[in-house]
């Protein structure tokens, strides 16, 4: 058997296209990079990387999970908003993106312990079963995303292996003010990495927008796995996002995939992305139009109401619950205000919700009602 060795195969009538093969044997087809490892589809390990699902709402001043699904933010010392930003122009728009995750400073801070970040967490079993040979330093994950900041400078992405104590990997990237920049980098394996085959957090990806000098040191090395020492997470930051009034930082098109080269972003339909998000969070509301009946139950005495509640999709674990403007209707011209929701029992697919109330007749069938503007939220976030 013979071997044909060429750098490119192309029609004689064209000058840009065909099949290109680099020195490592990796292939581009019509200028599009093919995966260097793994399958053609379901490559992106990031859920909601296009930031198009936002069940909780589009803007919030709170930290943690509050707007776009699977992404959380932290403003420490400084204060700000997180939001799902719709945009209508720019390089990411031309590639099919319509939303970004935005952090914006609303109250500045010069405190040396201040920090601002955005984070997404991945299940350990999804990393363990991804095909990444994570103990091999020569086998990589590749991350790519679009970023724009009102403040020019160098920022960092940090990866944390949660099943290994204090084990981190940093990559730096530099942006020009108010200009979309495509960031691509690789994360090599390491002999000390461990990812348990379970539904707990395995790998965290943090885009570090600002870290004060209490958390940084010039001795911290990027581009290598390291064990945290003395609370210094990053090299020193030259710019001060936390002390820049109205500063903004936008991210979209986040993809993390097995292999040594970035492939085009894997656009998934809204329905597919929402289904993935429902494993971690489900929001039941009325769309501010009219009350909605959400489940059947029974009055467990005069002060307790319990309801069977079927989930839209199975969740990662039995969730926690919050609710507002809910009541019980006994279909006999009586309604009872509900408070203090909790999970009486449940599985990842269905729940038995319990509420506190007063004045009910024990044993009577009741319906769970979400009033206009009310909601029930179920969270199984990492």
The confidence score (pLDDT) of residue 51 equals 98
Q: Taking residues 173-184, what's their average pLDDT?
A: 98
Looking at the structure, tell me whether residues 213 and 306 fall in a common domain: no
Looking at the structure, tell me whether residues 28 and 173 fall in a common domain: no
Looking at the structure, tell me whether residues 375 and 269 fall in a common domain: no
Closest listed residue to residue 113, CA positions, set 246, 215, 12, 40: 215
Looking at the structure, tell me whether residues 298 and 270 fall in a common domain: no
Q: What confidence tens digit (pLDDT) does each residue in 211-240 have? A: 999 999 999 989 999 999 889 999 999 999
Is the pLDDT reported for residue 334 higher than 90?
Answer: no
Q: Taking residues 67-77, what's their average pLDDT?
A: 98
Q: What confidence tens digit (pLDDT) does each residue in 285-325 have? A: 887 677 888 999 999 999 999 999 989 999 999 999 999 99
> Band of the pLDDT at 200, cuts 50, 70, 90?
very high
Is the pLDDT reported for residue 30 higher than 70?
Answer: no
Q: CB burial class (10 A; 0-12, 13-18, 19+) of residue 229? A: exposed
For residue 64, what are the domain limits? 59-277
Looking at the structure, tell me whether residues 96 and 208 fall in a common domain: yes
Quote the mean pLDDT of the chain.
Answer: 93
Q: Is position 365 within any domain?
A: yes
Is the pLDDT reported for residue 20 higher than 70?
Answer: yes
Q: Is position 46 within any domain?
A: no
The confidence score (pLDDT) of residue 265 equals 96
Is the pLDDT reported for residue 116 higher than 90?
Answer: yes
Residue-wise burial string across 276-288, b where 16 or more C-beta atoms lie within 10 A, e elsewhere: bbbbbbbbbbbee
SS3 of 189-247: CCCCCCCCCCCCEEEEEEEEEEECHHHECCCCCCCCEEECCCCCCECCCCCCHHHCCCC
The confidence score (pLDDT) of residue 275 equals 97
Looking at the structure, tell me whether residues 18 and 119 fall in a common domain: no
Q: How far apart are CA 369 and CA 372, in angstroms?
A: 10
> Which two structure tokens, joined as six digits, stand for 124?
């350990």
Q: Taking residues 68-85, what's their average pLDDT?
A: 98
Is the pLDDT reported for residue 270 higher than 80?
Answer: yes
Is the pLDDT reported for residue 370 higher than 90?
Answer: yes
Looking at the structure, tell me whether residues 203 and 235 fall in a common domain: yes
Q: Is the CB of residue 297 less than 8 Å from the CB of residue 308?
A: yes
The confidence score (pLDDT) of residue 136 equals 98
Q: What percent of the chain has pLDDT over 70?
A: 95
Q: Is the CB of residue 267 less than 8 Å from the CB of residue 97?
A: no
Looking at the structure, tell me whether residues 76 and 117 fall in a common domain: yes
Q: Is position 250 within any domain?
A: yes
The model's pTM is 0.92
Is the pLDDT reported for residue 199 higher than 90?
Answer: yes
Q: CA 74 from chain center: how many Å?
A: 13
Is the pLDDT reported for residue 245 higher than 70?
Answer: yes
Q: Taking residues 187-191, what's their average pLDDT?
A: 98
- Alpha carbons within 13 angstroms on the beta-carbon side of residue 184 total 10
Q: Is the CB of residue 144 less than 8 Å from the CB of residue 253?
A: yes
The confidence score (pLDDT) of residue 181 equals 98
The confidence score (pLDDT) of residue 37 equals 65
> Band of the pLDDT at 26, cuts 50, 70, 90?
confident
> Band of the pLDDT at 348, cuts 50, 70, 90?
confident
Is the pLDDT reported for residue 1 higher than 70?
Answer: no
Q: Is position 286 within any domain?
A: yes
3-class secondary structure, 234: strand
The confidence score (pLDDT) of residue 115 equals 97
Q: How far apart are CA 85 and CA 70, in angstroms?
A: 16
Give how many domains the chain has, as a whole number: 3
Q: How far apart are CA 322 and CA 336, in angstroms?
A: 18
Q: Is the CB of residue 143 less than 8 Å from the CB of residue 287?
A: no
> Band of the pLDDT at 19, cuts 50, 70, 90?
low
Q: What percent of the chain has pLDDT over 90?
A: 80
Q: Which residues pair with 251 in a beta bridge?
A: 101, 147
Looking at the structure, tell me whether residues 14 and 129 fall in a common domain: no
Looking at the structure, tell me whether residues 272 and 200 fall in a common domain: yes
Q: Is position 45 within any domain?
A: no
**Residue 8 per-residue DSSP state:** E
């Amino acid at each position: 058997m013979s071997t044909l060795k060429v750098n490119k195969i192309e029609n004689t009538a064209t000058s840009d296209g065909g099949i290109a093969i680099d020195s490592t044997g990796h292939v581009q087809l019509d200028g599009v990079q093919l995966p260097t490892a793994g399958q053609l589809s379901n490559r992106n390990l990031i859920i909601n990387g296009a930031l198009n699902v936002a069940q909780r709402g589009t803007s919030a001043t709170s930290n943690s999970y509050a707007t776009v699904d699977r992404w959380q933010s932290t403003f420490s010392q400084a204060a700000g908003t997180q939001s799902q930003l719709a945009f209508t122009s720019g390089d990411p728009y031309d590639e099919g993106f319509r939303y970004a995750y935005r952090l914006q400073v609303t109250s500045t801070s010069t405190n040396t312990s201040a920090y601002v970040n955005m984070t997404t967490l991945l299940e350990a079993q999804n990393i363990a079963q991804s095909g990444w040979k994570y103990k091999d330093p020569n086998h990589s994950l590749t991350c790519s995303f679009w970023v724009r900041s009102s403040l020019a400078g160098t920022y960092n992405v940090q990866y944390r292996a949660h099943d290994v104590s204090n084990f981190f990997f940093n990559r730096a990237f530099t942006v020009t003010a108010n200009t979309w920049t495509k960031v691509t980098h690789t994360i090599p394996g390491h002999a000390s990495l461990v990812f348990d085959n379970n539904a707990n957090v395995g790998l965290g990806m943090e885009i570090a927008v600002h870290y004060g000098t209490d958390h940084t040191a010039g001795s911290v090395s990027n581009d290598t796995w390291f064990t945290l020492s003395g609370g210094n997470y990053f090299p020193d930051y030259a710019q001060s996002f936390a002390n820049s009034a109205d500063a903004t930082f936008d991210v979209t098109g986040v993809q993390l995939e097995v292999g040594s080269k970035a492939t085009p972003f894997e656009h998934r339909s809204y329905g597919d992305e929402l289904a993935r998000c429902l494993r971690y969070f489900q929001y039941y509301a009325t769309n501010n139009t009219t009350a909605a009946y959400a489940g059947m139950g029974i009055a467990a005495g005069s002060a307790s109401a319990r309801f069977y509640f079927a989930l839209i999709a199975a969740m990662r674990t039995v969730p926690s619950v919050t609710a507002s403007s809910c009541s019980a209707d006994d279909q006999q011209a009586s309604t009872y205000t509900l408070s203090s929701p909790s999970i009486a029992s449940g599985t990842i697919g269905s729940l038995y919700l319990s509420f506190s109330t007063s004045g009910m007749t024990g044993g009577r069938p009741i319906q769970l009602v979400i009033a206009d503007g009310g909601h029930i939220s179920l969270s199984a976030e990492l």
